[in-house]
């Protein structure tokens, strides 16, 4: 061996080093994947956007981050290089083993050609398999482009059975080891090696058996010891963005969307009339966790400033942390609000929302040829920016993360975790097989794989398109439901279910083209579908019957502000002062049927001014998304509302009060305040506005009084000429005149 090393020439050593660093096939793979990188760059011209909205006004802002864009592209190019290197080397190794097995020598051109074919085949199959699993990631570049590209995606999702991809993946993973094993057997080298291993194993088993028995006994004892040490009561909030109660079996769904959720709900109490007070994610979560109305906790929209977020918030998490709980929140793209505000969570396993982050996410989104290799748990770890993909909201990955987080703390302390699934938020992009579980086979419309928000002039949709969009949404609900089943099962397997309170809820509901209500949430307050949220509270399985009544349905009106004090009370914790909600325990325990509560709500920010949505004629205008937002370079380059528009936004908000029998909506406009009143007993669909009708004068007066008491509960506002305005302004018309013209 020494002679062999010493006799190797410098040239030989150099060739050996190059062969190790650049195994045959690797340079070819590297060039192939760099060509794919270049193709993506060429096809991604003029792709500047913010939150999926493309506008010329983004160009100047994006130009300021040119360095970040370049560095991100270099990072993406490096990923192509690494993947190409590995694929090329493995392709070459595969063919080498094949030729060795058949006992033939390879010629250079044959080797080159076969390597290229193998590399291209691996990538083509990986691309088709990824298209089949996550078609939403590719829809803009393939399906929506039409022609051959659209046909290719339809072929991947509708023609090739999914098991074929699984089979090909298995062959790719096992191909090289199988060939190597076959070659070893053919050459007679496998049998002696197997005999040697067998002998070694036998001798080791004899020598180490006493030690092995002891070690095994210790491990088993440790497992039982950790399992027998309950830390409770624990609290787990399971939430899904934009989840409508009527999308669940327990809420009357027409499809089998939620067997696991329905089974869970039957173990506890379900509230049929729970309402969000601001149906946008950021303020909704602030309300759920603080038990305060938005005007008290200060988060009034999706783009709060650093000052809005700087105050200390008293939340379920902050209070339970003081009681020795480990706290954490796990989510995908809709949970990007949590890193922007301190709500008491020790662990925040979610994407982050900053303008540089948006640029990075968009940069990765454009490289379709890279996505098959990184849209998985490994890719999300190496490239955190891709966790912000709205088109890649796989609830299985979120459930995996939650279970890992629970495992990390369950033996040490009690825990309060929140898991927030984004799949049910538009574009309703559930992975295979859920995106086609309820859709009509053969559908070839424009919304085949997803329905993005219409951040442009309102689009007309046909009846068939509406049915398809609702089917996509139901598929997303079922995708989440299956992961709820996994999470509940994981708790049971770890012996935690008996000590854990489980809460099922959403931040708000969703409009899905009912009447003129459009799609989405937070733009108007007409109808209940975007305001109602599912709410179920299920106690530990080892609790007394009074603590975990099963199968109870509550018809009374309850609100998101009531969740925080109720959960604290169920855990035996003190409810702090300053909470606006009430403890719903009397409704859960059955000591009361109704608490006489009224639901209140307000709208969020309007992103557009030029849509044809009905509410556009019933509002005070201010600049659109690109006009009202700015990048706060002093605070993590976050996207926030411009300070000078804060008052106008608050003056312009629609507000609502709702009881079991009636709803009143307040809508300030430049012509004065408009009202809509609905008799929910006679008109639950809210089709006939009875404001001003003589028979409803008393009802309207009562609801106005309740609504104004609620609105004037906000500090530093006054009522002037029917408007709610900041107290330092002279009058409502002055506030309205300061708002931007349409």
Domain shared by 447 and 568, yes or no:
yes
SS3 for 338? Answer: helix
Question: Which is higher by pLDDT, 550 or 320?
Answer: 320
In a domain, 13, yes or no: no
Q: Tell me what pLDDT residue 397 has.
A: 97
Q: Tell me what pLDDT residue 173 has.
A: 85
Structure-block tokens of residue 48: 């500047």
Distance of alpha carbon 235 from the chain centroid: 21
Domain shared by 158 and 278, yes or no:
no
In a domain, 129, yes or no: yes
Tally of residues, the chain? 742
Closest CA to 345 of 353, 354, 337: 337
Query: How many domains does the chain fold into?
Result: 3
Q: Report the percentage of the chain scoring pLDDT > 70.
A: 84
In a domain, 345, yes or no: no
SS3 for 504? Answer: strand
* C-alpha span between 338 and 556 (Å, rounded): 31
Give the mean pLDDT of 254-273. 96
Domain shared by 382 and 397, yes or no:
no
Tens digits of residue pLDDT in 103-151: 666 676 778 899 999 999 999 999 999 999 999 999 999 999 999 999 9
Q: Tell me what pLDDT residue 729 has.
A: 59
Question: Which is higher by pLDDT, 618 or 209?
Answer: 618
Q: Tell me what pLDDT residue 190 has.
A: 57
In a domain, 453, yes or no: yes
End position of a domain, from candidates 343, 363, 386: 386
SS3 for 107? Answer: coil
Sign of CA dihedral 341, 328, 477, 383: positive
Give the mean pLDDT of 573-587. 97
Distances (CA, A) of 700 to 385, 524, 677: 50, 20, 7
Give the mean pLDDT of 273-295. 98
Q: Is 233 exposed, middle or buried (0-12, 13-18, 19+ CB in 10 A)?
A: buried
Q: Tell me what pLDDT residue 111 has.
A: 80
Other beta carbons within 10 Å of 740: 14
Domain that holds residue 693: 620-738
Q: Tell me what pLDDT residue 3 has.
A: 45
Rounded to the nearest integer, the mean pLDDT of the chain is 89
> Which residue do the tokens 């913010």 mark?
50
In a domain, 8, yes or no: no
Domain shared by 511 and 574, yes or no:
yes
* C-alpha span between 585 and 556 (Å, rounded): 13
Q: How confident is the model at residue 666 (pLDDT cuts 50, 70, 90)?
A: very high
* C-alpha span between 268 and 551 (Å, rounded): 5
SS3 for 576? Answer: coil
Domain shared by 714 and 655, yes or no:
yes
**Cβ proximity of 277 and 602 under 8 Å:** yes
| Pairing mode of beta strands 234-240, 415-421 | parallel
SS3 for 417? Answer: strand
Q: How confident is the model at residue 195 (pLDDT cuts 50, 70, 90)?
A: low
Give the mean pLDDT of 349-353. 96
Structure-block tokens of residue 496: 């935690």
Domain shared by 250 and 285, yes or no:
yes
Given a cut of 50, whether residue 736 has pLDDT beyond it is no
Domain shared by 633 and 731, yes or no:
yes
Q: Report the percentage of the chain scoring pLDDT > 90.
A: 75
Q: How confident is the model at residue 544 (pLDDT cuts 50, 70, 90)?
A: low
Tell me, letter by letter, the H, E, C secondary structure of 607-669.
Answer: CCCCCCCHHHHHCCCCCCHHHHEEEECCCCCEEEECHHHHHHHHHHCCEEEECCCEEEEEEEE
In a domain, 107, yes or no: yes
Q: Which of 42-51, 136-145, 201-210, 351-360 has the lowest mean pLDDT?
A: 201-210
Q: Tell me what pLDDT residue 13 has.
A: 58
Element (H, E) at 557: strand 552-559
Domain shared by 568 and 704, yes or no:
no
| Per-residue exposure over 681-699, b if at least 16 CB sit within 10 Å of its own CB, e if not | eeeeebeebbbeeeebeeb
**Cβ proximity of 392 and 429 under 8 Å:** yes
Q: Is 586 exposed, middle or buried (0-12, 13-18, 19+ CB in 10 A)?
A: middle
Tens digits of residue pLDDT in 596-615: 999 999 999 999 998 889 99
Peptide bond into 204 cis (omega under 30): no
Question: Which is higher by pLDDT, 736 or 268?
Answer: 268
Contacts of 105 (CB under 8 A, 6+ apart): 99
Return the CATH number at 240: 3.40.720.10
Domain shared by 245 and 102, yes or no:
no
DSSP state of 34: H
SS3 for 309? Answer: helix
Given a cut of 50, whether residue 497 has pLDDT beyond it is yes
In a domain, 663, yes or no: yes
Structure-block tokens of residue 419: 């898991």
In a domain, 196, yes or no: no
pTM confidence score = 0.91
Q: Tell me what pLDDT residue 740 has.
A: 41
Tens digits of residue pLDDT in 1-35: 444 444 556 666 565 555 556 677 899 999 999 99
Given a cut of 70, whether residue 668 has pLDDT beyond it is yes
The helices-and-strands tally (H runs, E runs) of the chain is: 25, 18
Distances (CA, A) of 630 to 354, 390, 640: 11, 22, 6
Q: Tell me what pLDDT residue 339 has.
A: 97
Question: Which is higher by pLDDT, 180 or 467?
Answer: 467
Give the mean pLDDT of 264-272. 96
End position of a domain, from candidates 566, 598, 630: 598
Return the CATH number at 627: 3.30.1120.10
Element (H, E) at 418: strand 415-421
Q: Tell me what pLDDT residue 656 has.
A: 98
Give the mean pLDDT of 272-296. 98
Q: At what angle do helices 26-43 and 108-133 cross, to 10 degrees?
A: 50
Given a cut of 60, whether residue 50 has pLDDT beyond it is no
Structure-block tokens of residue 322: 């003081």
Domain shared by 411 and 532, yes or no:
yes
Domain shared by 104 and 240, yes or no:
no
Question: Which is higher by pLDDT, 721 or 53?
Answer: 721
Domain shared by 156 and 283, yes or no:
no
If you write DSSP's letter for every residue of 154-182 in order, what string do you get? HIIIIIS-HHHHHHHHHHHHHHHHHHHHH
Tens digits of residue pLDDT in 408-453: 999 999 999 999 999 999 999 999 999 999 999 999 999 999 998 7
Cα Rg, the chain, nearest whole Å: 30
Question: Which is higher by pLDDT, 551 or 361?
Answer: 361
């Amino acid at each position: 061996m020494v002679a062999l090393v010493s006799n190797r020439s410098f040239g030989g050593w150099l060739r050996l080093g190059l062969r190790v660093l650049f195994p045959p096939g690797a340079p070819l793979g590297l060039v192939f994947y760099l060509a794919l990188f270049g193709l993506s760059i060429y096809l991604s011209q003029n792709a500047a956007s913010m939150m999926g909205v493309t506008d010329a006004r983004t160009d100047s802002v994006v130009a300021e981050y040119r360095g970040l864009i370049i560095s991100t592209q270099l990072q993406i190019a490096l990923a192509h290089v690494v993947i190409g290197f590995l694929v090329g080397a493995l392709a070459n190794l595969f063919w080498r083993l094949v030729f060795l097995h058949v006992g033939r020598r390879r010629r250079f051109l044959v080797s080159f050609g076969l390597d290229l074919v193998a590399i291209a085949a691996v990538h083509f199959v990986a691309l088709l398999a990824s298209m089949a699993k996550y078609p939403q990631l590719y829809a803009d570049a393939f399906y929506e482009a039409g022609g051959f590209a659209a046909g290719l995606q339809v072929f991947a999702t509708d023609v090739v059975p999914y098991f074929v991809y699984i089979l090909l993946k298995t062959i790719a993973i096992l191909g090289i080891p199988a060939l190597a094993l076959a070659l070893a057997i053919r050459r007679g080298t496998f049998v002696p090696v197997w005999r040697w291993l067998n002998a070694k194993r036998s001798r080791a088993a004899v020598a180490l058996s006493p030690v092995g028995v002891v070690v095994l006994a210790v491990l088993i004892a440790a497992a039982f010891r950790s399992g027998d040490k309950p830390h409770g009561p624990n609290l787990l909030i399971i939430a899904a963005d934009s989840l409508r109660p009527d999308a669940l079996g327990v809420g009357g769904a027409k499809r089998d969307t939620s067997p696991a959720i329905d089974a869970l709900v039957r173990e506890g109490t379900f509230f049929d009339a729970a309402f969000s007070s601001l149906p946008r994610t950021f303020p909704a979560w602030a309300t759920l966790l603080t038990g305060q109305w938005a005007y008290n906790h200060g988060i009034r929209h999706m783009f709060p400033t650093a000052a809005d977020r700087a105050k200390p918030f008293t939340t379920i998490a902050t209070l339970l942390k003081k009681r020795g709980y480990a706290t954490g929140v796990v989510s995908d793209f809709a949970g990007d609000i949590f890193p922007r505000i301190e709500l008491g969570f020790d662990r925040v396993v979610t994407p982050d929302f900053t303008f540089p982050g948006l640029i990075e996410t968009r940069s990765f989104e454009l490289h379709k040829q890279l996505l098959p290799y990184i849209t998985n748990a490994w890719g999300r770890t190496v490239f955190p920016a891709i966790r912000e993909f709205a088109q890649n909201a796989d609830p299985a990955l979120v459930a995996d993360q939650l279970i890992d987080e629970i495992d990390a703390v369950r033996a040490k302390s009690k825990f309060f975790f929140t898991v927030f699934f984004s799949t049910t938020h538009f574009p309703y992009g559930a992975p295979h097989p859920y995106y086609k579980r309820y859709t009509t086979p053969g559908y070839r419309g424009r919304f085949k794989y997803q329905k993005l928000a219409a951040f442009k002039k309102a689009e007309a949709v046909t009846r068939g398109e509406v049915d398809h969009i609702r089917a996509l949404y139901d598929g997303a609900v079922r995708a989440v439901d299956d992961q709820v089943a996994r999470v509940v099962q994981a708790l049971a397997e770890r012996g935690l279910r008996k000590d854990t309170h489980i809460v099922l809820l959403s931040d708000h509901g969703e409009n899905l083209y009912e009447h003129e209500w459009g799609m989405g949430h937070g733009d108007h307050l007409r109808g209940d579908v975007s305001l109602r949220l599912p709410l179920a509270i299920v106690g530990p399985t080892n609790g007394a019957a009074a603590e975990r009544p099963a199968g109870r349905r509550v018809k009374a009106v309850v609100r998101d502000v009531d969740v925080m004090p109720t959960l604290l009370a169920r855990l035996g914790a003190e409810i702090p002062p300053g909470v606006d909600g009430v403890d719903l325990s009397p409704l859960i325990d059955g000591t009361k049927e109704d608490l006489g509560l009224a639901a209140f709500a307000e709208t969020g920010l309007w992103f557009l001014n030029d849509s044809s949505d009905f509410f556009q004629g019933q509002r005070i205008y201010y600049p659109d998304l690109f006009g009202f937002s700015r990048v706060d370079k002093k605070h993590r380059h976050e996207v926030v509302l411009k300070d000078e528009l804060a008052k106008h936004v608050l003056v312009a908000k629609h507000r609502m009060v709702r009881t079991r029998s009636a709803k009143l909506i307040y809508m300030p406009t430049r012509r004065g305040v408009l009202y809509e009143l609905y008799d929910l007993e006679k008109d639950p669909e809210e089709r006939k506005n009875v404001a001003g009708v003589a028979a409803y004068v008393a009802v309207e007066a009562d609801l106005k009084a309740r609504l104004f008491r609620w609105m004037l509960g906000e500090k530093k506002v006054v009522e002037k000429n029917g408007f709610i305005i900041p107290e330092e302004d002279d009058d409502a018309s002055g506030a309205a005149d300061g708002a931007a013209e349409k």
